Amino acid sequence: MAEENNENMQSVMGLIINGGNAKSSAFEAIAAAKKGDFALADKKLKEADNFLVEAHNGQTKMLTAEASGEHAQVTLLMVHSQDHLMTAITFRDLAGEIVDLYKRLAEK
């Protein structure tokens, strides 16, 4: 049971860390685009995507375990990790749109 809780905690922390890193990279992409550095903006968006893939893999592992009958204890930290990830995904999507807008403005 302790091993299961430890593994669950690692998964939860992975969602928080990777979600936070993804959001930070997306924010850096917006800042780079604002300065006209679109190569860096694109690099940062790709970086955000990579962090989100890592988080998604962790989330999928948790969901697969749940579907297999390994029910995890739902804690406030677990709920927070899911919220953190969903916010990061939304922020990444929005950052992509903002970078595109800066690119269009730069073309004119």
Structure tokens at 12: 């939860």
Integer-rounded Cα radius of gyration of the chain: 17
Q: What is the pTM of this model?
A: 0.88
Angle at which helices 76-107 and 38-67 cross, to 10°:
150
Residue with structure tokens 């592992």?
A: 61
User: Percentage of residues in the chain with pLDDT exceeding 90?
Assistant: 71
Does residue 80 have an active-site annotation? yes
Encode pLDDT of 24-69 as tens digits. Answer: 999 999 999 999 999 999 999 999 999 999 999 999 988 898 899 8
**% of the chain residues with pLDDT over 70:** 95
Tell me the pLDDT of the chain averaged across its residues: 92
What whole-number distance in Å separates Cα of residue 83 and Cα of residue 81?
A: 5
pLDDT at 3: 60
Domain boundaries, the chain: 2-107
Fold adopted by 2-107: Methane Monooxygenase Hydroxylase; Chain G, domain 1 (1.20.58)
- Judge contact between 38 and 75, C-beta under 8 A: no
Q: What is the pLDDT of residue 40?
A: 98
Q: Which residue among 56, 71, 80, 84 is the active-site one?
A: 80
Q: How far apart are CA 40 and CA 54, in angstroms?
A: 21
